[in-house]
Structure 1
Amino acid sequence: MAMEDVKQLVRELLEEVKSLEAKLDEVVKPLEETSSTIPMASGSLEDVIKFTEQSVHQIMGIINDLMKELEKVQEDVDFLLSLNPVSSIRSRLESIKERSKKLSELLLQVITLMSFQDLASQQIKRVIEVLDNIKKTILKIVLSSIEASSLSIEQKEKIVGKATEMLTGDRIFQEDVDKLLEELGL
């Protein structure tokens, strides 16, 4: 093989390395962005679920208290009506009874509408699952790139072991992903 052939081969090899570096940059940047964005999104969604659940429970408690008070008003009105009051007072008491009944119906409608929280929580939990699956997919990509890398066998085994440990868990925590990416130099 002539010296020119060797030089040409080295040039081609350098071009391949540059091309590979460019492809790695294309993967690393979205990976870095995703690895920081997904956990924040998951955490924010979990916070939304907790906040809405707490708020709905508080609102439901208040509504239950209102319903009890309306029942007492109904009882008082019924008692006063049983005393056979004069017609003008009877008319007012019957009006109060009707408004009280209407308020009870409206509160029941509010309780029914509050069921949105449960449905919203279910949908948010599905989104969190999707985000976790995306994180797992990213880790699998990282694993396959580790296996193709020039790291020592010991380094590969260590990183693959940690990544596999993360993949087999129910949840993947950002700190674990960050450590793994740091060990990869990403």
Structure 2
Amino acid sequence: MNKRLISEIGNLVDGKLSAPEIEKLVRFMNRKSLKGLEEDREAFFKHLAREMRQEMKELAELIVEFKRDFQSRIHPEITELRTTYIPQAADQLEGIIESTEQAANRIMDNLEGMQRLTEEAMEALAGVRRQLVEREAASGPQARGEAQDLGGRIDSLRQSLERCLLLIGDSFEKMSFQDLTGQRIKRTIDLVNLMEERIQKTLLSFGLKVTEKTYNPEISGEDLASTVEKKLSDLRGPQRPGQGLNQADIDKLLARL
């Protein structure tokens, strides 16, 4: 490459420069060329570094903005769901069970009273019917006719009372719906309580991770997961005095999100 360049320069200067002078000129041009390449390369990497810094800055701003948005909007809604709406739903369902149970018990008491009064009325009618038969046997034709007519009315009334007893018995059977309804609502309450527990665990896990990462930025992902799981396990099962997390600890963790 240099020989060709020396030859071309020699032709251009037409013998005005000696061979050593031409070689010096070529070396000078090579140094300038290399220096220019280095400067271009350095400028390229500086520009690339500036672009990367700007991109990282924008990414960091997005993360901060996301966290701020989560704190100001998402977290309060989830917390309100856990602390207000789910407990209220469970309380309302429990109130429904209590109300339906009280109403069912009151209806059962009323039906039992109606059944008892109907049975007493039937016994009284049976006694009147027996007395009427006895008088009919000892009376004349006109009295027997009146007794028979009255006996027919008594029999009709007795049949009506028997139908009342059948309806009361059927009502007793139908009142078993309260047990089935109570069981279904109880399962719904269990589901609501499970949802509350899962949401609380999710919030606590997130809060613990943020807290641990804040106080120990160098902690590894594996150690962070292990630490959070250990603290979450303190919330489960019986706890000794002075150990585990109480409700105040939980509220503090949630407040730090």
Q: Would you say the 8 A contact 1:45–1:124 is kept in 2?
A: yes
CA drift of 1:29 comes to 4.2
1:180 aligned onto 2:180 = no
CA drift of 1:147 comes to 3.0
Moved more, 30-39 or 107-116: 30-39
Q: CA RMSD in A?
A: 3.1
CA drift of 1:54 comes to 1.3
CA drift of 1:6 comes to 3.9
Alpha-carbon distance in structure 1 between the residues aligned to 2:248 and 2:193: 15
Secondary structure of the residue aligned to 1:149 is: helix
Instruction: Give the equivalent residue in structure 2 for 1:40.
Output: 88
Alpha-carbon distance in structure 1 between the residues aligned to 2:206 and 2:115: 62
Change (3 A) 1:163 1:38: farther
Q: Deviations over 1:18-60 (max 9, x none)?
A: 2343355564144134221110010011111111111111111
Alpha-carbon distance in structure 1 between the residues aligned to 2:211 and 2:231: 17
Change (3 A) 1:106 1:179: farther
Instruction: Give the equivalent residue in structure 1 for 2:179.
Output: 118
1:75 aligned onto 2:123 = yes
Q: In terms of Rg, which structure is larger?
A: 2
Q: Would you say the 8 A contact 1:56–1:114 is kept in 2?
A: yes
CA drift of 1:104 comes to 0.5
Moved more, 47-56 or 97-106: 47-56
Q: 2:152 aligns with which of 86, 91, 94?
A: 91
Change (3 A) 1:108 1:164: farther
Secondary structure of the residue aligned to 2:63 is: helix
1:28 aligned onto 2:75 = yes
Q: Would you say the 8 A contact 1:42–1:128 is kept in 2?
A: yes
Q: Would you say the 8 A contact 1:74–1:97 is kept in 2?
A: yes
CA drift of 1:141 comes to 0.8
Q: Would you say the 8 A contact 2:204–2:254 is kept in 1?
A: no
Q: Would you say the 8 A contact 1:77–1:93 is kept in 2?
A: yes
Q: Would you say the 8 A contact 2:90–2:192 is kept in 1?
A: yes
Q: Would you say the 8 A contact 1:162–1:180 is kept in 2?
A: no
Alpha-carbon distance in structure 1 between the residues aligned to 2:178 and 2:198: 30
Same amino acid, percent of matched pairs? 20
Change (3 A) 1:89 1:32: same
Q: 1:131 aligns with which of 192, 209, 212?
A: 192
Alpha-carbon distance in structure 1 between the residues aligned to 2:170 and 2:103: 17
Q: Deviations over 1:90-140 (max 9, x none)?
A: 011101100100000111111111111111100000000000110111012
Alpha-carbon distance in structure 1 between the residues aligned to 2:77 and 2:233: 19
Alpha-carbon distance in structure 1 between the residues aligned to 2:153 and 2:54: 105
The number of equivalent residue pairs is 176
Instruction: Give the equivalent residue in structure 2 for 1:150.
Output: 211
Q: Would you say the 8 A contact 1:38–1:131 is kept in 2?
A: yes
Structure with greater contact order relative to length (CA < 8 Å, sep ≥ 6): 1
Q: Would you say the 8 A contact 1:143–1:163 is kept in 2?
A: no
Moved more, 56-65 or 25-34: 25-34
Q: Would you say the 8 A contact 2:208–2:253 is kept in 1?
A: no
Q: Would you say the 8 A contact 2:204–2:250 is kept in 1?
A: no
One-letter amino acid matched to 2:117:
E
